[in-house]
Amino acid sequence: MLMPMFIFRFIEGCDVPVKPDTTPPKVHIVEPHDGDAVSGRIEIKCRAVDDRGMSHVELWVDGAFTGVADSTEPYALLWNTMRYENNSTHVITVRAYDTSKNKADSEPINLTIDNTQDLPPAPSRIYEIVYQDNSFKIRWSRCPDPDFKSYTLFESYSDDMSGEQRIFRSEDKLDTSFVVTGVNSGEVRYYQVEVADSAGLTSRGNISEASSVQNMALYFDGQNDMVKLGYTVANNVRSIEFWFKLGRNVNFSLSETIGLIARNCEDERNEFGFFFHQTGWRHPGHLEFFRKVGDDFHYVYSDQNKWVQDVWFHVAATIDPDRGMFLYINGERQNSYDYSLQPIKEDDHLVSIGQWGDMRFRHFTGFIYEVRFWKRALDESEIIQNMHSHLTGDEYGLSTYYRFDEGRGQMIKDFCTNSEIYLGSSAGEDSDDPTWTNTDLPF
């Protein structure tokens, strides 16, 4: 009787090896169904089971893991369809893992995105930024969407909004302004408004520049300051206009010619320019616009020959294809007239401001502002209408447009082409650079 009991106890105490788990879990998608159209943010619901326990499930779209997972039953995986192109079809798979790291994929389903009705909210546009009392007051348009959730205002020191910071948030649809305080003189910042709706969709409006650089214009010292406008800027041009303010009085006793905008040529053919005549020339003290066509000089000049410093004057010269050349001072047509009908001829010589083309003499002393080249002849009403306001750069016939109001830096923007030119003789700072100077402006 003792031996059988002993054998039984011996056998009872032996370890029985555990068979490793190599059986994958089972998983299938419950909702939505194959071929369904989906929109917005949806839940991919699935059922996953394993005889030894589940770990988690993952959402895969078009063979790529989305980063969305769930480890708690009932399993539901959130898919944001707004990140995908509307009307596109995608393959959805759920991958399941058990506690032994075995995995299995569900049967795939195809879902088509239809976000026609699930559009992001209408963006809010910043339409005004006013600098006053060391502050920027920012205003933006109201979001019209009924499912509006919030406005968020971002600030950056870069025009691409890199390094942006959130400075304001409101869930009040009527709250469409904000005041940024503590702004120092000479600062430039950038702002953008983001609108969110109740579904979590967002949109952003325009990026707007805010500047505390006020009433700055380029001052030319009359010694060597100049700006190179390039070699083709005046080709086939019929109208040129700009503002200037002299840094000295000019009259009929002027001892040396002063160039404002000019192109010089060695043989004098195709030259043109705006300049004040020195005494002994044909019209001393008058402001003249001239051009040379072949061997012939053509010119129109101002009625007045006395000019007071520190006063803004607007000048416009036009070459009408039917009526000839005219000069306007402050919107008034001058008495001088020339019969030349051709636009300024093409040439590859330098056009510059502040000196005589590429020649280092006849320097201008004072301010230049709002320089515009047109490939059509302006009439008197257009000149008067636009002389006291900025243009956009998209106006018909406008080919080159420099506001000269950047207030800082080395580069000047052409609002027609969005290209830039530099001050002085080089892209770096040099002694030929005119200086940004605080002054009153004509508008």
Q: Do domains 26-113 and 126-211 have the same CATH topology?
A: yes
Q: What is the mean pLDDT of residues 379-392?
A: 94
* Fold held by 26-113: Immunoglobulin-like (2.60.40)
Residues 322 and 320: their CA atoms lie apart, in Å, by 5
Residue 327's pLDDT is 98
Count the neighbouring beta carbons within 10 Å of the beta carbon of residue 400: 24
> Hey, is 2 helix, strand or coil?
helix
pLDDT tens-digit readout, 238-273 = 999 999 999 999 999 999 999 999 998 877 778 999
> Hey, is 33 helix, strand or coil?
coil
Written out in words, the top-level CATH class of the domain with range 216-438 is mainly beta
DSSP state of 420: E
Q: Long-range pairs for 420-429 at CB < 8 Å and ≥24 separation? A: 421/227, 421/228, 421/229, 421/230, 422/228, 423/218, 423/227, 424/225, 424/226, 424/227, 425/226, 425/228
Higher pLDDT, 393 or 198: 393
Residue 146's pLDDT is 82
Amino acid making up residue 231: Y
Whether the full predicted model's pTM is greater than 0.85, yes or no, is no
Residue 442: pLDDT above 50? yes
* Fold held by 126-211: Immunoglobulin-like (2.60.40)
Mean pLDDT is lowest, of 67-81, 257-271, 407-421, for 257-271
Strand order in the sheet with 296-301: 227-230, 351-353, 258-263, 272-276, 287-293, 296-301
Residue 16's pLDDT is 61
Residue 88: pLDDT above 70? yes
pLDDT tens-digit readout, 119-151 = 778 889 998 888 888 899 999 999 988 889 999
Provide the pLDDT confidence category of residue 205 given band limits of 50, 70 and 90. very high
Residue 131's pLDDT is 84
Residue 332's pLDDT is 96
Contact partners, residue 25, CB within 8 Å, separation at least 6: 48, 49, 50, 54, 96, 97, 98, 102, 103, 104
Count the neighbouring beta carbons within 10 Å of the beta carbon of residue 310: 13
List the domain boundaries for the chain: 26-113, 126-211, 216-438
Whether the link from the prior residue into 24 is cis, omega within 30° of 0, is no
